[in-house]
Structure 1
Amino acid sequence: MSATRYLEIAERLSAELAECARGTRVASEAEIARRFGVGRAAARAAVQELERRFVVRRTQGSGTFVNRRIDYVISRSAPPSWSATIAAAGLPHEVAGAEFARRRVGERAAWVIARHVPAKRYLVATDPAYHALLSPVSVASLKVQGGPMDEREVAEFAAHPLAADAVALRRWDDAAKDPDGPRLTMPTLLAAHARCVAARRV
C-alpha cells in the first residue's frame, strides 16, 4: 500500500460527507478499513486527516460525526475574507492555512502546513537546542499541544515522506517571527504563487 493511500481515502470520504447533514455519524475505522481493503492504521489515518480538515469531529465514547460546514461568502456587499471566515469558525491557524493551500497549491503543501504543531513537538523531542528558540507564548502552548513527542510519535512522524519538509517549514516559520528580519515583498509572494499554480497545470 502506498504511503498516501490514507489521503486518497480521506478525499473520497470528504467528497461523500459534503453531501451529509451536520451531525451525521461517520463509519467506524473498522468499517472504513473493510470498505477500502486497508488496515486499521490507514483507516485511522484517514479519519484523523478528515478531523484535521475540520470535516468531522470525534467525540470520546460516542463516535465520529460530520462537522458543520464553513461557508466562504463572496458578494458585492461583503468583500471575501478567508481570515475572517476562519476566525469566525474558530479553526486553528495551521488548519486554516492547510485548507487555503489545499485549494490553491495542492495536497502536499497542505499536509506540510497542517503539521505545524506536530513538527514543533517533534523538534522539541529530537533537538535539545530547539526549545530555547521558542517564544514564551509557544512554550506555554506546547503544554496544551501535548508536550514533546514520545518515541512512538517521533518514529511515526519521521516515517512520513514529507516529514523533513514539515520540519523545514516549522523552522522557517520560527525564523520569520523576527520583526527585524528580511521580508519578501507582496509581488514576490504572488509570483511564487503563480509559479505553483502553473506547475499544477502541467
Structure 2
Amino acid sequence: MESEPYNLLQLPKVTGPPAEEELPQGEKRKYLPPTSRQDPKFEELQKVLVEWINAKLLPEHIVVRSLEEDIFDGLILHHLFQMLTGVKLEVEEMALTAPSQRRKLEVVLEAIARSLQAEERQLKWSVETIFSKDLLATLHLLVALAKHFQPDLSLPTNVQVDVITMESTRSGLKSEKSVEQLTDCR
C-alpha cells in the first residue's frame, strides 16, 4: 500500500454546522462554510501566518502544520509570545491534560491582551474559542499579533469571509449569515 506524501501546509478537514443536539440551548457558534475556507485570499492568509510562525519558531525547532490543530492548547502561542516579546511567562511548559492546557492558554491569552493593550470586549477571540479550535478566532488572534509585532509582514489585504452563526433556541437552531473582515483594506 502506497502512502500519500504529506503536505506540511495541508488544511484540516472542513467541519460543518452542528446537529441540534451538539449546540446547547442559548449558545452561539460561528462556522465557516466550505466556500469561505476555499477562498484563495483566505487560504493565502493562513499560509502567510503559518510561514511567519514557523520562521519565528525555527530556532526552537517548532513546526506548525495546522492553525486549528496546533494553536488551541497554548503551547505554540506561549513560545511565539516569548519569542516576540522576550517575556517569560510563569506557566508550565508542557500541559498534558485538557484543564492544564486551558489554564496555560488562559495565561498566554491574558499576556497577549496586555501586550496588545486591548480590552477583552474588543477581542475577537477568547479562551473558549481558541481552545475549541475555532479557525476564525485563531486567525483574528494571529493577525492581531502579526500586525502588532511585525507590521511589515505582508498579509493579504481585504480578506473577508462569509460566516454562519448558529444559535440554539427553544424552537430549534437559528442561523444567520454575515461577512467578517480578517485583514485591512489598503
Same fold at TM > 0.5? no
Q: Could you say which structure has the greater relative contact order, defined with CA pairs below 8 angstroms and 6 or more residues apart?
A: 2
Give the TM-score taking structure 2 as reference length.
0.28
TM normalised by structure 1 equals 0.27
More helix by share: 1
Larger Rg over CA atoms:
1
